[in-house]
Amino acid sequence: MVEERKKPKVSIIGAGAVGIRYAYSLMIKGLARSIVILDKNQEKAQGEVMDLNHGMPYISPVEVTVGKNSNLAGSDLVVITAGAKQKPGQTRIDLIKENIQVFRSIIPGIMEYAADAIFLVVTNPVDVLSYATCRISGKSWHQVIGSGCVLDSARFRYLLSQHCRIDARNIHAYILGEHGDTEFPVWSRVMIGGILFDNYCPVCGRCKSPKLTRNSIFESVRDSAYKIIEKKGETSYGIGLALVRITQAILKDENAVLPVSTFVDGDYGIHDVYLSLPCVVNKLGIREVLNIVLDDEEISKLRHSAEAIKAVIRDSGL
């Protein structure tokens, strides 16, 4: 008798723009056979699920439903996109404290029904809330992943591809550290078709001023979210696809290297914080953190980023 193949189940906490763009992208990719969407606004979640289900004739079979905590049972992956939005007059720290309280109310329910699932945290500030999720849940850090700088690194690769006129899939480049203002590009490790960027740049000849070009590219990466939010109110498509990439690495047990947010306690002289480093991601979560070679300036920036995140963690009362 042939053993029935297990059908992957993904549960999404939060039916906002990010959660639904992710669900839509996940459906099209065909990675899951069951998608459960939970939101405190049941009516909105039901409307979103109805809309998604009407495209079912055009995709691989998948069951998309609205659920409650008990429906989390059997989840392989729980993706947390829920969180409060900043209110007028509310400080960033006030917002973080509010979202930590939201997580304190959400995570016990997830642990009751899906304690063995991998947790993927998306809500910002993602590094702080990934740390909070790990602390509140008591789960191994290997099983609590933040979306981190996966999208930032994709933006970096895209802008490099536009500048160099090279397919973005043939560019390897990372943004590391905080998913936020202190993130930084690892220029020393950028590779195009196996050639270090430092060696490729003179051959390419497209930079009249390489330093100014690099500064311009990184500033565009760092400020992308602000510009998108200013123009359309939120970012969702890029992060939706980035989450699908992380999901694929987990559900297909790929051992893919991705710059996700992970617990760091000793690497590069950094302790007790979540931030983005290249990690090997598979069905067990984070298999290992890769200690890639950074130059002295990059190590200094990584440590600065870690201190900025730790300061927020302290101020949040965690």
- Taken in order of first residue, the domains within the chain and their CATH numbers are 9-146 (3.40.50.720), 150-316 (3.90.110.10)
* N-to-C CA span, the chain: 52
Whole-angstrom Cα distance, residue 51 to residue 65?
A: 11
pLDDT at 91: 66
| Crossing angle (nearest 10°) for helices 237-251 and 150-164 | 110
Q: What average pLDDT does range 158-182 have in this prediction?
A: 94
On the question of pLDDT at 106 being above 60, the answer is: yes
Rounded Cα–Cα distance for residues 311 and 30 (Å) = 40
pLDDT value, residue 2: 39
Higher pLDDT, 310 or 2: 310
Q: Which pLDDT belongs to residue 235?
A: 86
Distance CA 151, CA 65 (A): 27
Nearest residue to 301 via CA among 169, 164, 149:
149
Q: How far is C-alpha 310 from the geometric centre of its chain's CA atoms?
A: 19
Round to whole Å and give the CA distance between 62 and 66: 13
Distance CA 141, CA 130 (A): 9
3-state secondary structure of 264: strand
Whether the pLDDT of residue 59 is over 80: the answer is yes
In this prediction, residues 50-71 reach a mean pLDDT of 96
In this predicted structure, the answer to whether residue 4 has a pLDDT above a threshold of 50 is no
Q: Which of 35-44, 102-111, 229-238, 245-254 has the lowest mean pLDDT?
A: 229-238
Query: What integer is the mean pLDDT of 102-123?
Result: 97
Q: Dump pLDDT digits (tens) for 179-224.
A: 988 999 999 999 998 899 888 877 776 766 667 788 899 999 988 8
According to the model, what pLDDT value does residue 86 have? Answer: 65
Query: In the prediction, which pLDDT does 209 show?
Result: 65
Sheet architecture: strand order including 144-146: 63-66, 34-38, 9-13, 77-80, 118-121, 144-146, 261-264, 273-276
Residue 90's pLDDT is what? 67
* Percent of the chain topping pLDDT 70: 94
What's the pLDDT at 1? 37
Give residue 295's pLDDT: 96
CA distance 123 to 82: 6
What is the distance, to the nearest Å, from the Cα of residue 11 to the centroid of all Cα atoms in its chain? 16
Q: Which of 54, 163, 172, 179 is catalytic?
A: 179
Is 179 among the residues known to form the active site? yes
Q: Residues 236-291: pLDDT tens digits? A: 999 999 999 999 999 999 999 999 999 999 999 999 999 999 999 999 999 999 99
pLDDT of residue 202: 76
Find the helix or strand (DSSP H, E) in which 287 lies: strand 285-289
Q: In the structure encoding, which two tokens stand for residue 203, read together?
A: 């051959």
Using CA atoms, how far apart are residues 171 and 192, in angstroms rounded to an integer?
Answer: 5
CA distance 57 to 306: 47
> How much of the chain, in percent, has pLDDT values that exceed 90?
79
Query: Confidence class of residue 234 from pLDDT cuts 50, 70 and 90?
Result: confident
Q: Tell me the C-alpha to C-alpha distance, in Å, between residue 253 and each of 4, 13, 25, 28, 119.
A: 18, 23, 19, 19, 15
Alpha-carbon gap, residue 277 to 206, rounded angstroms: 30
